[in-house]
Structure 1
Amino acid sequence: MVCNIIDKIRLLFRKDKESYLCFYRMLGFYPRNIEIYQQALLHRSSSIKEKGRLLNNERLEFLGDAILDAIVADIVYKHFEGKREGFLTNTRSKIVQRETLNRVAVEIGLNKLIKYATKQSSHNSYMCGNAFEALIGAIYLDRGYRVCKKFMEERIIDRYLNLEKISRKEVNFKSKLIEWSQKNKFEIEFNLLDQSVDADQNPTFETQITVENIPAGSGKGYSKKESQQEAARETLSKIKSDPQFIDAIFAAKAEREQAQEAKTEADGMPQQEETVREELLESKKTAEKYDDVERIISEAEEAAFLEESGKASKENKKEKV
């Protein structure tokens, strides 16, 4: 409170009062080194040269990313007492992910202050979320960890983020849908329907998901992944709330499984016939082999008998002489 009063007095003697007031309305305090905050809003597409090197918000983004992770981990750890590591890690990830930071940046008006080239799309590059991280880096360098944490708690989480709701929110809809399909043995496909550009020449994608060849959810986005996530989210919503869709995919699944069973049986019959033929042939060969052995033994015995008879006849003739 005292610091803000002192900074407000100093503001009377500054030339760029409007910039200071703009940051004050966003942050809840006056910047001491306003240049570092201005750098946080400078996208690389609008880099400026200073002392022989390009100046933009990328280094501040790197710093802010690490500081934000630590602050959110601190807040989540204290808010969810007794929760296990996996739960805490998941919740932190949901808060610091680009989609959440993009939304927060727009909520606080940061998107209107970012300086970037006209052709650069915030949708495509997550520019707003990156700038928010750079802003955290600037606050940390200007005011330190304690003020950073206070800003996140009072100006961001208390106003725009519900920790309880976020902790229960499913974020990776595609992964969740694939897990559901594998568990319930449904066949799903992600089909890219369209790839085009918007009015600002940014690439856009449209994906449709089919479950057992039945159209489910569809989604659009500025990347394939984004369109797939949106399509998966819509599909999961349909699975939960559309009884007719559920009946249709279960019927299609049953029909597919019956067809597969019939094909398996049809493929198995020739194989069974071939096996029987092979067994009969083998039996015949064995019988023939057995007959051959019997014949050979019989012939050998007969030869031996004739030989013995011949010897006996000779012996008799000698005795008579």
Structure 2
Amino acid sequence: MAPLEEAIGYKFVNSLLLAEAMTHPSMAYETQKPHFDNQRLEFLGDAVLQLTVTEWLYQQFPGFSEGEMTKLRARLVSGAALARFAKEIGLGQYLMMGKGEEASGGRARTSTLADAFESLTGAIYIDGGFDEAKKVLLNVCSRQLEHIANEPAEVNPKGQLQEQLQAIAPQSPIYQVVGESGKDHCKVFEVEVCWLEKVLGKGVGKSKKDAEISAAKAALEAKSWA
């Protein structure tokens, strides 16, 4: 586990806590023997994460309302966000799990990685206290925290477009794929967004979702409905 400790910048006093944090519940299920797992540490780590992020947001955005900070916190502690943090420190490779769970892709599963990140946080909290846990979290999450600090408003072109259009008429914009190119593993989609039978914008992307966002951005820039 030494490389993991190096990656997070924290050396455990009690190495058993780290082992517990990295033990997936499938170990006990597969061996049919009593075995500790990381679920209790996950429960604790969730609370430490919530407090750390809440404190950071409170200090970073003194003018924000409770609702605004709640939305930002949700972006930072969502399962997808925690799994991303876990991947950045290579957490999946250190997990101890049953062969069946591993064979089914458990080592890279978003929920598993998110749970493990929470468990690791809980283990650091018990081993070194809140200040050490906070220090590790702020370090590991630094890039995302910096992004939030620079762009606190979540950019949602599709939502912005719908809001502006529905202020004029109740109909929602319609997105439709008008072209595809490339091989199966690297397709490029072309999408146009229409409203009241008028094309407002077109966009391309490596997924339909990305192409829709691109089309919405083009529509917002053109404002051809105005």
Alignment TM-score > 0.5, same fold? yes
Q: How far, CA to CA, are the matches of 1:46 and 1:218 in structure 2? A: 41
The two structures, once aligned, show a CA RMSD in angstroms of 3.7
Consecutive unaligned residues of structure 1, counting only runs of 5 or more, are 1-18, 192-207, 221-229, 251-321
- 1:240 and 2:217 are equivalent in the alignment: yes
The equivalent residue for 2:58 is: 77
- 1:135 and 2:112 are equivalent in the alignment: no
Structure of higher RCO (CA pairs closer than 8 Å, 6+ residues apart): 2
Q: How far, CA to CA, are the matches of 1:146 and 1:109 in structure 2? A: 23
Contact in 2 for aligned 1:48/1:55 (Cα 8 Å): no
Match of 1:55, SS? coil
- 1:157 and 2:134 are equivalent in the alignment: no
Contact in 1 for aligned 2:173/2:194 (Cα 8 Å): yes
Match of 1:126, SS? helix
**1:122–1:51 CA distance, 2 compared to 1 (3 A):** closer
Contact in 1 for aligned 2:79/2:110 (Cα 8 Å): no
**1:240–1:107 CA distance, 2 compared to 1 (3 A):** same
1:145: how far off?
A: 0.7
The equivalent residue for 2:184 is: none
Match of 2:152, SS? helix
1:63: how far off?
A: 1.3
Q: How far, CA to CA, are the matches of 1:79 and 1:129 in structure 2? A: 25
Contact in 1 for aligned 2:24/2:38 (Cα 8 Å): yes
1:280-305 deviation digits (Å, cap 9, x = unpaired)? xxxxxxxxxxxxxxxxxxxxxxxxxx
The equivalent residue for 1:267 is: none
Q: How far, CA to CA, are the matches of 1:46 and 1:181 in structure 2? A: 53
Amino acid aligned to 2:172: E
The equivalent residue for 2:5 is: 24
Counterparts in 2 of 1:282-293, with a 5 A limit? none
Counterparts in 2 of 1:9-88, with a 5 A limit? 19=1, 21-47=2-28, 53-88=34-69
Q: How far, CA to CA, are the matches of 2:38 and 2:16 in structure 1? A: 11
Amino acid aligned to 1:186: Q
Q: How far, CA to CA, are the matches of 1:151 and 1:56 in structure 2? A: 22
1:49: how far off?
A: 8.3
In percent, how many aligned pairs have the same letter?
25
Q: How far, CA to CA, are the matches of 2:194 and 2:35 in structure 1? A: 50
TM-score under structure 1 normalisation? Answer: 0.51
Q: How far, CA to CA, are the matches of 1:25 and 1:44 in structure 2? A: 25
Q: How far, CA to CA, are the matches of 1:40 and 1:174 in structure 2? A: 40
Match of 1:167, SS? coil
Amino acid aligned to 1:237: S
Give the aligned length. Answer: 201
**1:135–1:91 CA distance, 2 compared to 1 (3 A):** same
**1:157–1:125 CA distance, 2 compared to 1 (3 A):** closer
Aligned counterpart for 1:92 among listed residues 48, 73, 81: 73
Match of 1:30, SS? coil
Amino acid aligned to 2:131: R
Q: How far, CA to CA, are the matches of 2:27 and 2:10 in structure 1? A: 27
**1:78–1:246 CA distance, 2 compared to 1 (3 A):** closer
1:210: how far off?
A: 7.0
1:168: how far off?
A: 2.2
Contact in 1 for aligned 2:24/2:96 (Cα 8 Å): yes
Match of 1:115, SS? coil
**1:245–1:176 CA distance, 2 compared to 1 (3 A):** closer
1:146-199 deviation digits (Å, cap 9, x = unpaired)? 11111122x22335531313522247x8866765664453335699xxxxxxxx
Q: How far, CA to CA, are the matches of 1:64 and 1:51 in structure 2? A: 27
Q: How far, CA to CA, are the matches of 2:7 and 2:204 in structure 1? A: 38
The equivalent residue for 1:112 is: 93
